[in-house]
């Protein structure tokens, strides 16, 4: 699977850990930055990740900042993205199954590496449930439905 990751400066270590782990599992990984601890603005990287998803450059995305909140808001500004902030695997699973989330957001200051991996595993291994959920997901990108 093609997976894009982006973060802010508070989350570069978790992003790098997840990128390496995903690569080891055979995924095609795009690290959209940043690549050092210089202070950056999370919206810039959230928008960059959203653009990659919208352009079809990645099938799924992982957005990470200190809390996960700010970067998830930035990603969700793009109508092609459905980003869900998760902190445990059940939320990641339900975000895929019910909401067809194509991006998860993680808070690097709130969860550890093993919980982050568990969330990513649930996110990547769960299929969208379709059926009754489809009309609701359609409304997320088109409120007039």
HSE-CB at 11 with a 13 A cutoff on CA atoms is 34
129 known member of a binding site:
no
Please confirm, yes or no, whether 65 is among the known catalytic residues: yes
Tokens 């959209």 correspond to 32
Sheet order of strands, 28-31 included: 28-31, 2-7, 60-65, 103-107, 83-85
Q: Respond yes or no: is residue 23 known to be catalytic.
A: no
Task: Please report the sign of the dihedral spanned by the C-alpha atoms of residue 45, residue 29, residue 110, residue 69.
Answer: positive
- Asked if residue 77 belongs to a known ligand binding site, the reply is no
2 is in an annotated binding site: no
Residue 85 is given by DSSP the state: E
Query: Is 109 flagged in the annotation as binding?
Result: yes
* Residue 82 is assigned to a ligand binding site: no
Is 68 annotated for ligand binding? yes
Nearest to 139 by CA among 88, 62, 79: 79
The single residue of 27, 65, 81, 119 carrying the catalytic annotation is 65
Helix (H) or strand (E) holding 7: strand 2-7
60 labelled binding-site residue: no
Is residue 112 part of an annotated ligand binding site?
no
**Positions at the binding site for D-ribulose 5-phosphate:** 8-9, 66-70, 99, 109, 132, 136
Q: Write out the catalytic residue numbers.
A: 65, 98
**Positions at the binding site:** 8-9, 66-70, 99, 109, 132, 136
């Amino acid at each position: 699977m093609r997976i894009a990751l982006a973060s802010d400066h508070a989350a570069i270590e978790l992003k790098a850990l997840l990128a390496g782990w995903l690569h080891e599992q055979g995924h095609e990984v795009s690290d959209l930055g940043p690549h050092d601890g210089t202070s950056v603005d999370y919206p810039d990287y959230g928008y960059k990740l959203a653009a990659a998803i919208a352009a079809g450059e990645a099938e799924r995305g992982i957005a990470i900042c200190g809390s996960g909140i700010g970067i998830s808001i930035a990603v969700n500004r793009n109508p092609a993205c459905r980003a869900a902030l998760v902190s445990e695997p059940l939320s990641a699973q339900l975000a895929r199954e019910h909401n067809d989330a194509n991006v998860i957001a993680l808070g690097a200051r709130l969860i550890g590496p093993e919980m982050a991996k568990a969330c990513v595993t649930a996110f990547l291994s769960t299929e969208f449930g379709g059926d009754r959920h489809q009309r609701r997901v359609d409304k997320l990108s088109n409120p007039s439905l």
